[in-house]
C-alpha cells in the first residue's frame, strides 16, 4: 500500500526553517512572490526584501508579479500595495519599479480615498498616496502628465473625510498633502490652498504632537507656494481658526514649542499681508497721480 505524501509545509513553517537553510528562504520568497494575491502581508514583505537582495539573479521577476497584482481587484490588495510602496520608499525596491504601473497605482489610490466604510483601508490609501507623491520625480518626466496626475489625486484628497477617524489616518492625510505641496507644479496647486487651509487648523486642536507638527509644516508650505492673490484668500480662510487657537491658550493642547511655532507663523502671515496692502496703496496713489 502506497504511503500518503507528506503534508505541504505552510509558509510560516518554511519561514522558521530558513534560519538553518538559506536555500529554503529563496524557495519561500519565490513561492510568495508567485502568489502575491493571497500571501500574508508580513511574509510578503520578507519575501520582497529577500528578493531584492538576490535581484541580480532575477532582474525582471518582481515587476511581472507586481503587474499581475495591480490588475487584480484593488480593494483586496490595498494593504499589500501599501506595504510594497513602503519598501519602495525605504530603498529596498528600486525607484524604477514604481514606473511600471503608475496609472494603475494612481487609480487604486484615488478609488480608496473616499471610502467611508473602512477607515483602515482609507488610511492605507493615504499612505500609498504619500509614497506616490514622494516618488513623483522618479516616475514622471512629462510635466503635463504630472499636472494631470496631481490634479486628479488632489481633488480626491480635498474631498476625503480625513478630519474623521484616528490620529493615524489624519497624520497620513496631512503627510500626503504636505508631500503634494512640496512636489507639485505651481500651476496645479493654485486652486487648492483655500480648501486645504480651511481644514487643517482643526487638527491643531487634537491629535498627537507629530500630527500638529505636520499641520504647521503644511501651512508653511502652502504660504510659501501661494501667489499674492492666493495668499490673501488663504489668509482669510486660515487666520480665524489659528487666532481662535491662539486666544484659547488655557484649553489648548499645544506644547509651548508648538504654540511658539504657531505664533511665529501668524506673525509672518500678518507681516506679509501688511506688505501686500502697502503695495496696493502705492499702486492706487500712482494711478491717481
pLDDT at residue 67, as a whole number: 42
Q: pLDDT tens per residue, the chain (289 residues)?
A: 455 544 544 545 544 554 454 444 445 444 544 454 454 555 555 554 554 454 444 444 444 444 444 444 444 444 455 445 444 444 444 444 444 444 555 555 555 544 444 444 444 454 455 544 444 444 444 445 555 555 555 555 555 555 445 565 566 667 666 766 766 666 666 666 777 777 777 777 766 677 788 788 888 888 887 777 778 888 888 888 888 888 876 656 778 888 888 888 889 888 888 888 888 888 777 777 6
Give which of 37, 36, 80, 86 is closest to 62, Cα–Cα. Answer: 36
Residue spans per domain, the chain: 15-72, 77-191, 200-289
Q: Which residues contact 268 (CB under 8 A, 6 or more apart)?
A: 223
Kindly provide the b/e burial profile for residues 11-48, where b requires at least 16 CB atoms within 10 angstroms of the residue's own CB: beebbeebeeeeebbbebbbebbeebeebeeebbbbbb
Q: 3-class SS at 116?
A: coil
pLDDT score for 223 = 83
The pLDDT, as a whole number, for residue 68 is 43
Candidates 92, 84, 91, 138; CA nearest to 109 is 84
Amino acid 134: pLDDT: 47
Amino acid at each position: 500500500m502506497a504511503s500518503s505524501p507528506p503534508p505541504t509545509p505552510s509558509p510560516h513553517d518554511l519561514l522558521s526553517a530558513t534560519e538553518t537553510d538559506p536555500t529554503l528562504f529563496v524557495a519561500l520568497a519565490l513561492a510568495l512572490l508567485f502568489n502575491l494575491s493571497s500571501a500574508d502581508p508580513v511574509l510578503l514583505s520578507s519575501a520582497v526584501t529577500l528578493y531584492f537582495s538576490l535581484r541580480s539573479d532575477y532582474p525582471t521577476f518582481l515587476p511581472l508579479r507586481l503587474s499581475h497584482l495591480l490588475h487584480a481587484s484593488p480593494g483586496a490588495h490595498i494593504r499589500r500595495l501599501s506595504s510594497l510602496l513602503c519598501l519602495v520608499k525605504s530603498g529596498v525596491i528600486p525607484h524604477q519599479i514604481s514606473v511600471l504601473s503608475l496609472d494603475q497605482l494612481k487609480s487604486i489610490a484615488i478609488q480608496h480615498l473616499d471610502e467611508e466604510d473602512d477607515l483602515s483601508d482609507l488610511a492605507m490609501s493615504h499612505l500609498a498616496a504619500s509614497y506616490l507623491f514622494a516618488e513623483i520625480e522618479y516616475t514622471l518626466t512629462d510635466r503635463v502628465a504630472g499636472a494631470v496626475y496631481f490634479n486628479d489625486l488632489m481633488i480626491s484628497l480635498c474631498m476625503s473625510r480625513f478630519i474623521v477617524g484616528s490620529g493615524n489616518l489624519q497624520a497620513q492625510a496631512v503627510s500626503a498633502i504636505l508631500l503634494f505641496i512640496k512636489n507639485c507644479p505651481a500651476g496645479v496647486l493654485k486652486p487648492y490652498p483655500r480648501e486645504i487651509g480651511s481644514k487643517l487648523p482643526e487638527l491643531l486642536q487634537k491629535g498627537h504632537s507629530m500630527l500638529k507638527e505636520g499641520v504647521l509644516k503644511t501651512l508653511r508650505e502652502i504660504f510659501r507656494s501661494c501667489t499674492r492673490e492666493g495668499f490673501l484668500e488663504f489668509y482669510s480662510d486660515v487666520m480665524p481658526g489659528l487666532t481662535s487657537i491662539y486666544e484659547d491658550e488655557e484649553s489648548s493642547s499645544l506644547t509651548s514649542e508648538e504654540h511658539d511655532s504657531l505664533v511665529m507663523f501668524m506673525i509672518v502671515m500678518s507681516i506679509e499681508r501688511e506688505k501686500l496692502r502697502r503695495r496696493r496703496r502705492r499702486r492706487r496713489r500712482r494711478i491717481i497721480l
